[in-house]
A and B are shown apart, each in its own frame.
Chain A
């Protein structure tokens, strides 16, 4: 028996039934977080917008492949967005554009320090997240949001691979401690708040 209910069961069902309105619900719930992940990787609003569109179409076309048994919907969505953006920055054209400075320079070369601010009208939650030590935020940002490998993270932060591995473990433990035993409840509250202000 699974004792954590799936908060996205309904939206998944609607998407699988080809309900285009469900896509609007999905975007209002997760759009900002997914767009941010893409933006953090490519550091250009124009490119991020195109990629977000590509990723959304992939999500729409491949929703049949989402398997609830393998994890939460958001994890699957983020993977698609992250991979779409990572594929892009590996292309020669992107590297060329990055070199010719159409991309936010400072951000590309200093991305672990670059912090993007939130849009959630819950300063309490933001404060809670900020209580997570910066060094743990760094590893989550790089690995989870920007798709770095542990080795790439070690190189970026100039710390040993072993330290990255232990920081990953502590980061998640600390994050869970900060958010308490039932993050699902917070997710539901965030969703409610977002839908209220839209």
Chain B
């Protein structure tokens, strides 16, 4: 399995958000065990979402925590209260005939054995059927993933087409600096819908430990617009955050994950916004 492709399909995002069907979920869970890289990736997604949930949280009402702990404390005593009352009504009658009881016991044992054998056979059949179903499911999932990926590509291309068709987008051409004179990139800037797209043009590939980072120059100061995901960016336009009143856009090469301020020695392309 192509792990990167699997991750890029977004199936782990959907798993973390609870958007998958039971069949898809089971399949992902199988893969999580098989491929530790997937588990690591899922943890990154889940941790990011957990931080989001915690940052957005409102505090529990006062006393709720204690109330919950108290009800859990009382949980264990509840079942024993019930069992205190039940035996009284169902007190067994003293046995009249030990022989009859023995016979019944023997018969019921025999019956149990027969049932057990039948169940065992049925289980075997079930396992065979389940593995066949699982094979079919696997094939369906592969097709589904393929379809989803294509669906997303079409969606993305459609959005990009809108950018090119729309007059609302102002193209800002980012020219290569002395560092990389051949490089070019284009930012499409839309003040109407407050949207920005980036075409990374022919920026050279980055070393393993580096990332490109996009900056907007606002009021003369560089503002971080995020690290550029090359895997997506090489397939076409990527949507980037929108900034009000930028004077220019620039791309620098930064250490992996980006930096709070740009390294101007590694400035690759820059272009001014015409007002």
Is A95 an interface residue when CB atoms closer than 8 A count as contact?
Answer: no
Complex alpha-carbon distance, A2 and B33, angstroms: 10
The distance from the CB of A114 to the nearest CB of chain B, in whole angstroms, is: 11
Do B257 and A181 touch (CB < 8 A)? yes
Complex alpha-carbon distance, A100 and B59, angstroms: 27
Do B13 and A20 touch (CB < 8 A)? no
Q: Is the interface of A mostly helix, strand, loop or mixed?
A: helix
Is B256 an interface residue when CB atoms closer than 8 A count as contact?
Answer: yes
Choose among A24, A125, A132, A172 the residue that contacts B45 (Cβ–Cβ < 8 A).
A172
The distance from the CB of B7 to the nearest CB of chain A, in whole angstroms, is: 11
Q: Which residues of A contact B53 (CB under 8 A)?
A: 33, 36-37, 74, 78, 144-145
Choose among A35, A179, A181 the residue that contacts B60 (Cβ–Cβ < 8 A).
A35
Is B82 an interface residue when CB atoms closer than 8 A count as contact?
Answer: no
Do B55 and A118 touch (CB < 8 A)? yes
Choose among B19, B57, B242, B256 the residue that contacts A120 (Cβ–Cβ < 8 A).
B57
Complex alpha-carbon distance, A149 and B44, angstroms: 22
Is B100 an interface residue when CB atoms closer than 8 A count as contact?
Answer: no
Do B57 and A168 touch (CB < 8 A)? no
User: Which of B63-71, B120-128, B167-175 is near enough to bind chain A?
Assistant: B63-71
Complex alpha-carbon distance, A69 and B39, angstroms: 8
Do A36 and B57 touch (CB < 8 A)? yes
Q: Which residues of B contact A33 (CB under 8 A)?
A: 50, 53-54, 56-57
Do B19 and A49 touch (CB < 8 A)? no
What residue in chain A is nearest B10 (Cβ atoms)? A169
Choose among B54, B60, B68, B242 the residue that contacts A133 (Cβ–Cβ < 8 A).
B242
Q: Which chain B residues in 26-80 approach chain A with CB under 8 Å?
A: 29, 32-33, 36, 39-40, 42-61, 64-65, 67-69, 71-73, 75
Is A88 an interface residue when CB atoms closer than 8 A count as contact?
Answer: no
Q: Which residues of A contact B10 (CB under 8 A)?
A: 165, 168-169
Complex alpha-carbon distance, A163 and B241, angstroms: 16
Is B267 an interface residue when CB atoms closer than 8 A count as contact?
Answer: no
Q: Which residues of B contact A131 (CB under 8 A)?
A: 241
User: Which of B106-114, B152-160, B179-187 is near enough to bind chain A?
Assistant: B152-160
The distance from the CB of A32 to the nearest CB of chain B, in whole angstroms, is: 4
Is A12 an interface residue when CB atoms closer than 8 A count as contact?
Answer: no
Do A27 and B68 touch (CB < 8 A)? yes
Known contacts A166-B159, A170-B239, A27 near B50 by CB under 8 Å: no
Is B227 an interface residue when CB atoms closer than 8 A count as contact?
Answer: yes
Q: Which residues of A contact B17 (CB under 8 A)?
A: 140, 143-144, 168, 172
Known contacts A4-B40, A56-B72, A116 near B58 by CB under 8 Å: yes
Mark each residue of chain B from 73 to 111: 1 if its CB lies under 8 Å from any CB of chain A, else 0.
Answer: 101000000000000000000000000000000000000
What residue in chain B is nearest A162 (Cβ atoms)? B155
6 contacting pairs across A/B (C-beta < 8 A): A27-B68, A32-B60, A53-B67, A69-B32, A165-B10, A169-B10
A-B pairs, top 5 by smallest CB distance, nearest first, are: A183-B47, A32-B57, A4-B43, A33-B57, A162-B155
